[in-house]
Amino acid sequence: MTIPTPEIPREVVIVPGTDVDDAWERYQPFEPLHFQQDILNPMSDAELERVMEALAVRPGMRLLDIACGHGEMLLRFAQRYRIDAIGLDESPWVIVRAAQRTARRRLVGTVRWWLGSGTEAPRGPFDVVTCIGASWIWHGFAGTVAAVGDRVRPGGRVAVGDLRARDDVDGPPGILTRRDQIAVIEAAGLVPIGEFVSADASWTAYQQRILANAEAYALATPGDPLRDRRQMAAEWLDDHRRDRERLVWSVWVAERPR
Ligand SMILES: C[S@@+](CC[C@H](N)C(=O)[O-])C[C@H]1O[C@@H](n2cnc3c(N)ncnc32)[C@H](O)[C@@H]1O
């Protein structure tokens, strides 16, 4: 059983090899948790703006955002600059929404939406490559830094968003510290520009958005277990609450030297 799926707009590029039916089904559980959100991460508007500023985007640049979600960052760039961007995500739910949102924004730049796995992302090189909040695609921070770093030109910038251990506590085993992350970035041949740490309040606000989304989605069609993900949202929030005691969410921006 599935929730009825919207049509994929013709302008969406489906990356060869993508099993679209499987993707609709696999990403369906996340739809009720995210459907009304712009930013699908524990970042406030202002925090996203700071990351965008650090990426130093200028007119004429080519951008790639891997796991772009609803495409908010690329849409903001395209509202301001004549850029040429690709937003890629494996969830048809979010890619269709990104395409729908594009039609409602006044853009001076171009954004194309690609449906497919991050591992199939085009190689570029691009001026700016980002992956914010999907480091599992490359099995962690190091793989993600390498993947975006491989796709950026000398002088170009990357952004990677992930969890890391808090500075003031021992992180769980296997979780990188800030110092580990800097070492990873440098080992990939990139120069760290800055780390943008989300405030605790931003994380709380994200959790509240998830709960509110799950509630609104469930109430729209009472009694439908596929649409009622309030239990899943509550479990997620418990995980997040536990994580917050030991982890922070941050976005690193780095540059490939010329
Ligand atoms: C936490 S959200 C972040 C979205 C966006 N970067 C943002 O900050 O708003 C993670 C995104 O990764 C996408 N995703 C998960 N696995 C993926 C994969 N293997 N390839 C591409 N996208 C993937 C999900 O569909 C989701 O949109």
- Structure confidence at residue 244 (pLDDT): 84
Averaged pLDDT for residues 36-53: 97
* Cβ of 69 less than 6 Å from ligand 1: yes
Tokens of 40: 């699908």
CB 171 within 8 A of CB 247: yes
- Structure confidence at residue 58 (pLDDT): 98
The atom number, within ligand 1, closest to the CA of 131 reads: 6
Q: Is 70 among the domain residues?
A: yes
> What is the SS3 assignment for 172?
coil
pLDDT at 146 over 90: yes
CA dihedral 54, 109, 104, 67 (to 10 degrees): -50
pLDDT tens-digit series, residues 13-26: 999 999 999 999 99
- For a pocket test of ligand 1, which of 40, 120, 148, 210 has the largest count of ligand atoms closer than 8 A to its C-beta? 40
Residue 192's closest CA among 161, 159, 168, 164?
159
Pairing of strands 152-165, 247-255: antiparallel
Pairing of strands 126-132, 152-165: parallel
Q: 158 vs 31, 91, 167, 188, CA distance in Å?
A: 28, 22, 23, 12
In 23-83, DSSP assigns E strands to 62-66
CB 89 within 8 A of CB 81: no
pLDDT tens-digit series, residues 218-256: 888 888 888 888 888 889 888 888 888 899 999 999 999
- Structure confidence at residue 1 (pLDDT): 55
pLDDT at 171 over 80: no
Q: Is 53 among the domain residues?
A: yes
Domain with 123, as residue range(s), is 13-199+247-255
- Structure confidence at residue 237 (pLDDT): 86
CATH number of the domain residue 151 falls in? 3.40.50.150
The atom number, within ligand 1, closest to the CA of 93 reads: 25
- Structure confidence at residue 2 (pLDDT): 67
pLDDT at 57 over 90: yes
Q: Is 52 among the domain residues?
A: yes
In 133-241, DSSP assigns E strands to 152-165, 191-197
* Cβ of 91 less than 6 Å from ligand 1: yes
Number of domains in the chain: 1
